């Protein structure tokens, strides 16, 4: 059978994430260190795991309501108000999803008509473009710049807006750059969007991981609440990636439609995870602080270390990534990552994996032990020293 | 400043560069602070936590509840001093409740520990009774878990 003819053209045109082969190499290597995987190295705090186990003991193994346990949605509403001053009605404005990723997918599919454009600042997490395409829309990739610390500026945004623009994805705090948007940055973006029908899909999955500042949601800027869909979840804040727990909040009319997609595609998020999430919301604030403090120490160490060995990087104030500039090495990001892995057995991710604008940069994730970070820095220093020697020799010949 | 102590308590093998970055201090500040902590005996020492069960060496630990008659003027401190001077005593705490001291003793053999209690501790002036509990298995000490944890089975996924 000729499957290529049978299968959806649209799906076949979507490029798979190209990093997989790196990890296959890595798995075979001894003494390899990975600064590649973008998830917390912490295990979910015990009291949260225990709540999941207890729900199983109690035999809570059935579906929940489509939007998620009312108890959980109430807790999410109270959490969002407590931590980010966001007010959402648990009954009509919150849907519990299978991770933040499902939330992004739902939001895009809920908004996009064929041919609609979705503005996506890049470098950013890999899913927005493909999900837009699969929803029938056209991704418009907008390159943010190192000199702006990879923030989205109103000038850049204005240039990208056309009559077909349906939505703006706002992925801050940002993976892979660690960039954040502060209130004044968001106000400038709001100024561009006021009076338009452009919706914002604000992916705030790293909202708890900001350093030396507090996260502001664009939904908190005047006139933006009604044009914003907020995506958040438990993966990064409570080290719960494997539980697949996220949520979407937004205007009632949108959530009503969005719930249909979730209802027919998913039914309801896993029940055991929802019970664990209730505990995370009720008694997890201290875990968040503890993990953030730990990440913050590693962040400072990694940034200082990279600068010391000669790789400039701006100070990332969010998420758990540093995005150093490797242009001084004369290597492309892909070559840098491949050679670094082969010569020194350390995996970092090429900036190009996160869209155009990532060339010349690499992503280093510090959600790993201090020991590994220290060793990775030593090896990177070696790598750079050897590289410079080779380059000097080549230039001498 | 307690941040630095907290970091050292968790892992005293961190280099001063690491500590400086993590505590948001300069390396010079870290050097000076640690020197001061050591001089002032805020930091008493640095030790490794060993799981002797993984070695050939026998290791027996007992927790002993001790009741005493406190002495005039010196209260419990004088008798405490007479107990903790013994090398065998790993830890000594004054307790509230049904007894006065918890003494933690470690030795190579059961006999060694038993003879310490009967020959040294029980006959001490002021000691009125002892109750010895042998530790059968250590699960966790100083936040560290003794049982070998399976290596992190982290899947290499792209996020």
Q: What ipTM was assigned to the predicted interfaces of this complex?
A: 0.80
* pLDDT at residue number A374: 96
**Full-model pTM:** 0.91
pLDDT tens column, B27-41 = 999 999 999 999 999
pLDDT at B156: 62
In tens, the pLDDT along B65-123 reads: 999 998 877 889 999 999 999 999 999 999 999 999 999 999 889 999 999 999 999 99
| HSE of B117, CA atoms in CB hemisphere, 13 A | 24
What CA–CA distance (Å, rounded) separates A355 from A305?
A: 26
Tokens of A232: 């958040």
Q: Which of A158, A124, A155 is nearest to A139 (CA)?
A: A124
B70/B100 Cα distance (integer angstroms): 9
Residue A30 confidence (pLDDT):
81
- State the pLDDT confidence band at B1, using cuts at 50, 70 and 90: low
At A21 the pLDDT is 61
Contacts of A349 in chain B (CB under 8 A): 158
Question: Which residue in the set A20, A301, A349 is minimally distant from B18, CB to CB?
Answer: A301
Low-confidence ranges of chain A (pLDDT < 50): none
Number of Cβ within a 10 Å radius of residue B45: 7
Residues A133, A136, A142, A144, Cα dihedral to 10°: -50
Nearest to A301 among B22, B152, B157 (CB): B22
A126: contact with B, CB 8 A cutoff? yes
Distance of CA A202 to the CA centre of its chain: 11
3-state secondary structure of A93: coil
Q: What is the DSSP letter of B75?
A: B
Asked if A38 and B7 come within 8 Å (Cβ–Cβ), the reply is no
Cα separation of A217 and A235, whole Å? 18
Q: What is the pLDDT of residue A56?
A: 98
Question: Contact, A130 vs A14, CB < 8 A?
Answer: yes
Q: Please, is B75 exposed, middle or buried when counting C-beta atoms within 10 Å of its C-beta (0-12, 13-18, 19+)?
A: exposed
How far is residue B62's CA from residue B84's CA, in Å, rounded to a whole number?
15
Quick one: which of B97, B100, B106, B103 has its CA closest to B126?
A: B100
Chain B residues touching chain A at CB-CB below 8 Å:
7, 11, 14-15, 17-18, 21-24, 152, 154, 156-159
Cβ-nearest to B158 among A17, A298, A305 = A17
Interface residue A57 vs chain B (CB under 8 A): no
Answer whether residue B149 shows pLDDT above 80.
no
Which distant-in-sequence residues (6+ apart) come within 8 Å of A37 by Cβ?
A365, A367, A368, B154, B156, B157, B159
| Segment 76-95 of chain A within 8 Å of chain B by CB | none
**Mean pLDDT over all residues of chain B?**
91
Ramachandran class of B73: left when φ > 0, alpha when ψ lies in -120 to 50, beta otherwise: left
Kindly report the backbone phi and psi dihedral angles of residue A327, in degrees, each rounded to the nearest multiple of 5, phi listed first: -60, -30
Q: Do B7 and A297 touch (CB under 8 A)?
A: yes
Question: Which strands form A321-322's sheet, in the order they lie side by side?
Answer: A321-322, A362-365, A349-350
Nearest chain B residue to A371, by CA? B14
Cβ contact (<8 Å) for A27 and B24?
no
- B22 vs A contacts (CB less than 8 Å): 296-298, 300-301, 370
Between B42 and A17, name the one with better pLDDT. B42
Q: What is the number of other CB atoms lying within 10 angstroms of the CB of residue A137?
A: 23
Region B126-144 average pLDDT:
94
């Amino acid at each position: 059978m000729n499957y290529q003819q049978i299968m959806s053209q649209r799906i076949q045109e979507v490029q798979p994430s190209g990093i997989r082969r790196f990890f296959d190499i890595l798995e075979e290597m001894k003494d390899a260190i990975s600064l590649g995987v973008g998830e917390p190295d912490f295990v979910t705090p015990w009291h949260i795991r225990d709540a999941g186990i207890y729900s199983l003991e109690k035999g809570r193994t059935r579906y929940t309501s489509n939007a998620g346990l009312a108890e959980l949605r109430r807790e999410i509403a109270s959490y969002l108000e407590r931590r980010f001053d966001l007010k959402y009605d648990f009954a009509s404005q919150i849907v519990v999803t299978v991770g933040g990723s499902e939330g992004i997918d739902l939001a895009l599919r809920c908004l996009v008509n064929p041919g609609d454009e979705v503005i996506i600042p890049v470098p950013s997490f890999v899913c927005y473009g493909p999900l837009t395409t699969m929803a029938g829309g056209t991704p418009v990739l907008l390159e943010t710049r190192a000199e702006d610390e990879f923030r989205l500026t109103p000038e850049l945004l204005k240039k990208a807006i056309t009559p077909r623009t349906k939505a703006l994805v706002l992925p801050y705090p940002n993976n892979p750059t660690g960039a954040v948007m502060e209130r004044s940055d968001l106000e400038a973006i709001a100024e561009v969007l006021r009076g338009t029908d452009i919706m914002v899909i604000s992916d705030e999955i790293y909202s708890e991981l900001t350093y030396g500042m507090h996260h502001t949601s664009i939904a908190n800027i005047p006139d933006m609440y009604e044009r914003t869909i907020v995506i958040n979840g438990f993966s990064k804040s409570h080290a719960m990636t494997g539980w697949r727990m996220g949520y979407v909040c937004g205007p009632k009319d949108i959530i009503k439609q969005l719930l249909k997609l979730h209802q027919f595609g998913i039914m309801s998020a896993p029940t055991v995870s929802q019970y664990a999430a209730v505990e995370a919301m009720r008694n997890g604030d201290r875990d968040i602080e503890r993990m953030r403090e730990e990440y913050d120490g590693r962040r400072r160490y990694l940034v200082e270390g990279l600068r010391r060995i000669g790789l400039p990087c701006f100070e990332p104030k969010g998420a758990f990534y540093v995005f150093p500039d490797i242009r001084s090495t004369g290597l492309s990001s892909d070559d840098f990552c491949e050679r670094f892995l082969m010569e020194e057995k350390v995996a970092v991710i090429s900036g190009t994996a996160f869209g155009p604008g990532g060339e010349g940069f690499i992503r280093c994730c510090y959600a790993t032990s201090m020991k590994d970070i220290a060793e990775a820095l030593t090896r990177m220093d070696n790598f750079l020293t050897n590289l410079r020697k080779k380059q000097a020799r080549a230039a001498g010949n | 400043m307690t941040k630095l102590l907290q970091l050292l308590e968790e892992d005293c093998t961190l280099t001063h560069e690491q500590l400086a970055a993590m505590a948001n201090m300069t390396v010079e500040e870290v050097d000076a602070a640690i020197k001061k902590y050591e001089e002032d005996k805020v930091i008493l020492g640095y030790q490794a936590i060993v799981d002797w069960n993984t070695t050939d060496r026998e290791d027996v630990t007992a927790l002993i509840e001790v009741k005493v008659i406190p002495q005039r003027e010196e209260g419990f401190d004088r008798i405490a001093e007479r107990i903790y001077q013994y090398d065998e005593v790993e830890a000594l705490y004054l307790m509230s409740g049904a007894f006065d001291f918890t003494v933690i003793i470690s030795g190579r053999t059961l006999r060694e520990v038993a003879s310490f209690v009967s020959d040294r501790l029980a006959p001490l002036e002021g000691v009125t009774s002892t109750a010895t509990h042998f530790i059968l298995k250590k699960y966790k000490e100083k936040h560290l878990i003794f049982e070998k944890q399976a290596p992190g089975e982290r899947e290499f996924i792209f996020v």
